[in-house]
Amino acid sequence: MNWAEAEGIRPDLRQAVDEFKRKYEGETISGNRGEVLVPRFHYYGTEMMEKAICALLAQKNLLLCGPKATGKNVLAENLAYLFGRPYWNVSFHVNVDASYLVGTDTFDGDKVVFRPGPIYQCAKYGGFGILDEINMAKNEAMAVLHATLDYRRILEVSGYDRLELHPATRFIGTMNYGYAGTRELNEALGSRFLVLQMPVIEEKQLEKLLRREYPEISKSMCRQLCAIFYELDEKAGNLEISPRAVDLRGLLDAVSVMKLGLSPLEAMDMGITNKVFDSTERSIIHDVIAARIPKSWN
């Protein structure tokens, strides 16, 4: 039984994904870059997964929106794996421009050559382009992708080439509205994606994730860690603390140092509390943890 089946993905969707995989198998860039990577974490959330699969099968691009710790990147990597495609991860920032995305010319010995960027490679080799924090970039810089992301499915490389996208190419954007430096996507860009609003991971799924990653963790500890995560999430939602503390990666990291003998309170302070710089907020977060995890626990 494969993972999609175990997660309860609809059989017709599983079948369609398998067909997609078979159809484009082997059509990729040679060498390591073309490898289909096994994701480090599994995404738990059948409903979201099914919606995303439908969008990609319909040859649409997908935009995953949601706050921290909703598994946007994990879902994107899982989708690439499920569809059997290599992925190119493009981290967006304020100075992203066309040459960063598409490629630029460079000097090679005695001639000027084109050095392809991640979007170009993705388009050529049928990869999945994960456009991480897409709303960090300026909308003007993204205009070069308009023709790539809509029905035309072409990539204009100014002065060199006009590339038609490989039929297996898909783009998955992720964005967290509200981070420092983020902005709203303009209508032109937003309309080129199907959008999934990602929910915060459910308690059962979080428990499952913790137990899968750290099977040695006790049931009681696991429940308290989950409770801390949701209490901090609620607190951040009510603007009592900054969202920095609602950090799933930090929680997992804390558990991994607990395994090496650090006390749970110390580990949680390292993984979560100390990520906040305001001393009052730090105390509030520490109180949440101290009200859940006994000092004597190891």
Partner 1 sequence: MELNDARRKRAVNMVWTAANRYDFEPQYLFFHGNGEPDLYLNTLEGLAYSCMDEEILMPFLRGLEFGRDPDKFRALAQLVLEQAIFERKREERPALLELREEYARVHLTEFRAPDRYRELSWERQSMLRCRKILGMNLGEFHKKELELSVALEEAASLPDAQLAAKTKSVFRHFYFYQAVKARKSEETAFVGAGLLLVLMRRLLAGEFHVRRSAKKENGDGEELSRWQVAWKHLRSETTQAEDRAFVRDTFGPCIYSDIVMQQLEKEYCVGYHKRCRLWYSGSGTADQIFGWEQEEQMMKNRAYYHADRQYYERCIARITTHLKNALEEQQEPDVVHTNSGRLDACAVYRIRAMHDLNVFCREIVYPLPDFTVDLVLDASSSRYREQEGIAAQAYMIARSLMNLQIPVQVVSFRSVRGYTVLQRLKGYEETENAEGIFHYYTAGNNRDGLAFQAVRALMEQSGYERQKRIVLVLTDAMPSDAYKAFVPGRLRSSRDYDEALAVEDTCAAVRSLRQKGMRVAAIFWGSNYAVDNLRKIYGDFFVRIRMISQLTDAVINLLLRILAELREMV
- Residues 114, 115, 121, CA angle at the centre, nearest 5°? 110
Between 37 and 94, whose beta carbon lies closer to partner 1? Answer: 94
In this structure, the chain runs to a length of: 298
Between 11 and 294, whose beta carbon lies closer to partner 1? Answer: 294
Nearest residue to 122 via CA among 157, 75, 171 = 171
239-258 footprint of partner 1 as x/- string (CB under 8 A)? xx------------------
Binding part of the chain for partner 1, among 16-24, 35-43, 51-59, 175-183 by CB under 8 A, reads 175-183
Contact 52, 196 (CB under 8 A): yes
The binder of partner 1 chosen from 59, 91, 197, 220 (CB under 8 A): 220
The binder of partner 1 chosen from 183, 208, 244, 275 (CB under 8 A): 183
Give the DSSP letter of residue 136: G
E strand or H helix at 216, and its extent? none
Residue 239's φ and ψ, nearest 5 degrees, are 60, 25
Helix (H, G, I), strand (E, B) or coil at 140: helix
Neighbours of 61 (CB within 10 A): 21
In angstroms, the CA 134 to CA 182 distance is 9
The binder of partner 1 chosen from 174, 176, 224, 273 (CB under 8 A): 224
Q: How far is the CB of 117 from partner 1 (least distance, A)?
A: 15
Q: How far is the CB of 181 from partner 1 (least distance, A)?
A: 6
Binding part of the chain for partner 1, among 3-11, 18-26, 179-187, 207-215 by CB under 8 A, reads 179-187
- Site size with partner 1, rule: CB under 8 A: 37
* Beta strand ranges found along the chain (DSSP E): 62-65, 87-91, 103-108, 111-116, 128-132, 154-157, 161-164, 170-175, 194-197
Tell me which residues in 77-116 interact with partner 1 (CB under 8 A). 94-95, 105-107, 111-112
Q: How far is the CB of 278 from partner 1 (least distance, A)?
A: 9
Helix (H, G, I), strand (E, B) or coil at 163: strand
Q: Which residues bind partner 1 (CB under 8 A)?
A: 94-95, 105-107, 111-112, 138, 178-184, 220, 224, 231, 234-235, 238-240, 279-280, 283-284, 287-288, 290-297
